[in-house]
Amino acid sequence: MQLWLIPILPLAGFLINGILGRRFSKSLVNAVAIGSVVLSFLWVLKTLLALGALQEPHLEHYFTWIQSGDLVVNCDFMVDRLTAVFLLVVTGVGLLIHIYATGYMAHEGGYYRFFAYLNLFMFFMLVLVLGASYLLLFVGWEGVGLCSYLLIGFYFDKKFATDAGNKAFIVNRIGDFGFSLAMFLIFRNFQSLEFSQVFTKASSAQEWVLTTIGLLLMVGACGKSAQIPLYVWLPDAMAGPTPVSALIHAATMVTAGVYMTARSNVIYNHAPGAASVIAIIGVATAFLAATIGITQNDIKKVFAYSTVSQLGYMFVGIGSGAYAAGVWHVVTHAFFKALLFLGAGSVIHALGGEQDLRNMGGLRKKTPITFWTMCCAWVAISGVPPFAGFYSKDAILAAAYEHSPAIYWVGVITAGITAFYVSRAMFLAFFGEPRGHHHPHESPPVMWIPLAILGVLSLAGGFLFNIPEYLRDIFPPIHEADNPALVYISVAIGFAGIALAYLMYVARPGMADSLANALKAPYQLIYNKYFVDELYDATVVKPLVGGSRLVLWKGVDAGLIDGTVNGVGARARDVGSVLRLLQSGNIRSYAAWVLFGGVALIVMMGLAGGIR
């Protein structure tokens, strides 16, 4: 089926734009960048139609990438239903965001560079979901990390942007450390890295091995999908242009961790301990990030913490064994979070770069299309039935209740907080009186058409795409008691969050500030993101750099090792400096020494009794 065409097309776009793009006009750059993604999307559609029901995974072998003894890594691509879902989300949402970006980036420098990176990202993301072995998945995994680094640091003359890029790459590397160790263990135990082989052998492996592998894979997923303790890079990643935040840091790349853990479901099914850890980390992240989201004033930061929080939900789904629900949330989240970010981008665009919620307000009238499309995302993320987020979040929470009621309750409270902070952002931006000194204008059609499409998907995505049904063969549904009370509770909490936000930011606007003043200490703690960055800086970064400089470099290298070597040299020189007195450089003194030596020799021979 020529699966390789799917990722190769964006790669070609990257190469053309990357090498020649500087000489291209903007429309030519657009044509190459969008054209390659359109072709890729169409090829995905054609492939999936041709493959039909996909009851069995479809595998294609291209070449052997690495071979060393028994260790063989093939370059194989595979499509099954899980991959199909991700392929459609990545190329579909990716295409919309590409189109949007042509409007958003129209007045930015480095236009061709931006689209080249975006295409490169598409390539790696598609390799990630198509790869038929852990190592190929890892190729895409690292590659999307690279593109994330490049795009976060897109404005490379700004130090905060490049700092954020470095942070993203390095924190992800810490996650990859876990992922790669997991791969090494997988090969050590199963003699293969190919999914089909690994999963066949995994079901008969010892539990502690699978638990270790599962936990190490989870470390990798925590890095890429921004979970505790490695979530710190994602909020900073908002330094990149907004379409990047939508595509990479909301809709696709950050869900790679969910894809990987869902793909490894066989391992987690046999390692319940590791799965529980995932669920706990997921719910803790969801709650923590949601609370931070309440206090942020930068509209993109609010949505960034929201992303971290929603990814936490997906992990709750994975950890509770409801892989299909997790993947479903990936899909719906891709719709509504991409929409929120693109909408935020549209607002920022309208206000000429303003990102602070405190300087917005009253945009409902000025940018009606943006407002109404973002409303779709608002109701979707708040869990209002029957919109997209309601279905997937509800499926996750129901599974979580089966797994552990405690996780369910934290999850429900988080749902309320979610509804609250999104409503807060919406009220602050679109309601009330304008607070800034801007002259807002609605975005051009090339930007609002993708918004509209995503809006429709956010509203209807839930009942249109029944992902758990589609993935039934891969992830058998877990038996859960039909408990309508759970649904009522989460819906009620969602409405309560919206209502509270309305009360605090529309009905009685002073209330939020007075509440913040009343609860100064906790507010400061949350506003400063629990001081996690500062904690990492003080406990890891500073000791590492300082220790390396003072102890290792100046101490061990220059002091101990060179000191020892130089010490040996110095002793040798001391001996030499005594001996060199003989070598005066004066020829006549040498001659005198020769004479002295000759006489001494004769005297000694005489004393010894002469030569016989």
Partner 1 sequence: MLSAVPISWFLTLSAVLFALGVAGFLFRRNIITVFMSIELMLNAVNLSFVTFSYHYKSVDGHLFTFFVMVVAAAEAAVGLAIILTVFKNRGTLNIDDVDSMKN
Partner 2 sequence: MNLLTGVLFLPLAAFVVALLLPRNSGAGRTWALLSSAGIFLASLGLLAYFDRNIGGEQFGVNIPWIQSPDIHFAISVNGVSLWLILLSTFLTPICVLISWNYIKDRAKEFYAFLLLLEFGLIGVFLAQDLFLFYVFWEVCLVPMYFLIGIWGHDRRIYAAVKFFLYTMAGSVLMLAAIIYLYVRTHTFSYPAIVDMLGSGRLVFSPNEEILLFLAFFIAFAIKVPLFPLHTWLPDAHVEAPSAGSVMLASVMLKMGTYSILHYCLPLFPGASHACAPWIAVLAIIGIIYGALVSLVQPNMKKLVAYSSVSHLGFVVLGIFTFEQAGLDGAVYQMLNHGISTGALFALVGLLYERRHSLEIKDYGGVATAAPWLSTVFLVTTLASIGLPLLNNFVGEFLVLQGTALANFTWTVWAALGVILSACYMLWMYQRVFYGELGDEVKHHMPDLNPREWAVVIPLIVMMVWMGVYSQSFLPPVTKNTAMILKQTSVNVSYRVQAPAGAKSVEVARAR
Which residues bind to partner 1, rule: CB under 8 A? Answer: 583-588, 591-592, 595
CA 338 to chain centre: 15
Contact present, 372 and 455 (Cβ < 8 Å): yes
Residue 549 touches which member of partner 2, partner 1, none, C-beta under 5-8 Å by kind: partner 2
Part of the chain binding partner 2 (CB under 8 A), chosen from 81-89, 314-322, 521-529, 547-555: 547-555
Selected binder of partner 2 within 27, 63, 587, 611 (CB under 8 A): 63
Task: Report which of 350, 373, 358, 244 is spatially closest to residue 302, judged by C-alpha positions.
Answer: 358
> Is 575 among the residues that bind partner 2 (CB under 8 A)?
no
Give the H/E segment covering residue 135. Answer: helix 134-152
> Is 571 among the residues that bind partner 2 (CB under 8 A)?
no
How far apart are alpha carbons 451 and 461 in whole angstroms? 14
State the minimum distance, in angstroms, from the CB of residue 95 to partner 2.
24
How far apart are alpha carbons 346 and 441 in whole angstroms? 10
State the minimum distance, in angstroms, from the CB of residue 585 to partner 1.
3
Residue 586 touches which member of partner 1, partner 2, none, C-beta under 5-8 Å by kind: partner 1
> Is 508 among the residues that bind partner 2 (CB under 8 A)?
no
Selected binder of partner 2 within 2, 71, 537, 603 (CB under 8 A): 71
Helix (H, G, I), strand (E, B) or coil at 600: helix
Cα torsion 136, 140, 141, 146 to 10°: value is 140
Contact present, 217 and 183 (Cβ < 8 Å): no
Residues for the chain: how many in total? 612
Residue 595 touches which member of partner 2, partner 1, none, C-beta under 5-8 Å by kind: partner 1
Give 41 or 190: the residue with its C-beta nearer to partner 2: 190
Beta-bridged to residue 74, according to DSSP, are: 64
| Residues ≥6 apart with Cβ < 8 Å to 451 | 100, 339, 342, 343, 346, 369, 370, 373, 374
State the minimum distance, in angstroms, from the CB of residue 603 to partner 2.
38
Task: Report which of 185, 3, 158 is spatially closest to residue 78, judged by C-alpha positions.
Answer: 3
Per-residue contact track with partner 2, 4 to 23, x per CB under 8 A? ------------------x-
Strands (E) across 221-277 are located at: none
State the minimum distance, in angstroms, from the CB of residue 575 to partner 2.
16
Contact present, 376 and 339 (Cβ < 8 Å): yes
Give 538 or 591: the residue with its C-beta nearer to partner 1: 591
Taking the CB of residue 464, how many other CB atoms lie within 10 A of it? 11
Residue 588 touches which member of partner 1, partner 2, none, C-beta under 5-8 Å by kind: partner 1
Residue 472 touches which member of partner 2, partner 1, none, C-beta under 5-8 Å by kind: none
Give 62 or 590: the residue with its C-beta nearer to partner 1: 590
Give 64 or 589: the residue with its C-beta nearer to partner 1: 589
Query: By CB under 8 A, how many residues form the interface with partner 2?
Result: 51
Take residue 135 and report the two structure tokens written for it.
């190592």
State the minimum distance, in angstroms, from the CB of residue 181 to partner 1.
59
Contact present, 392 and 332 (Cβ < 8 Å): yes
> Is 503 among the residues that bind partner 2 (CB under 8 A)?
no
**Residues in 198-217 at the binding interface with partner 2, rule: CB under 8 A:** none
**Residues in 164-193 at the binding interface with partner 2, rule: CB under 8 A:** 165-166, 169-170, 173-174, 176-177, 180-181, 183-185, 187-188
Selected binder of partner 2 within 503, 515, 556, 601 (CB under 8 A): 556
Alpha helices (H) in 153-241, listed in sequence order? 159-190, 195-202, 207-224, 233-236
> Is 539 among the residues that bind partner 2 (CB under 8 A)?
no
Instruction: Give, in degrees to the nearest 5, the angle at Cα 268 between 266 and 269.
Output: 65
Residue 585 touches which member of partner 2, partner 1, none, C-beta under 5-8 Å by kind: partner 1
291-302 b/e (C-beta count within 10 Å ≥ 16 → b): bbbbbbeebbbb
Angle between helices 445-464 and 323-350 (to 10 degrees): 160
State the minimum distance, in angstroms, from the CB of residue 237 to partner 2.
15
For binding to partner 2 (CB under 8 A), which residues are involved?
A: 22, 63-71, 135, 138-139, 142-143, 146, 149, 153, 156-157, 159, 162-163, 165-166, 169-170, 173-174, 176-177, 180-181, 183-185, 187-188, 544-545, 547-549, 552-553, 556-557, 561-562, 565, 569
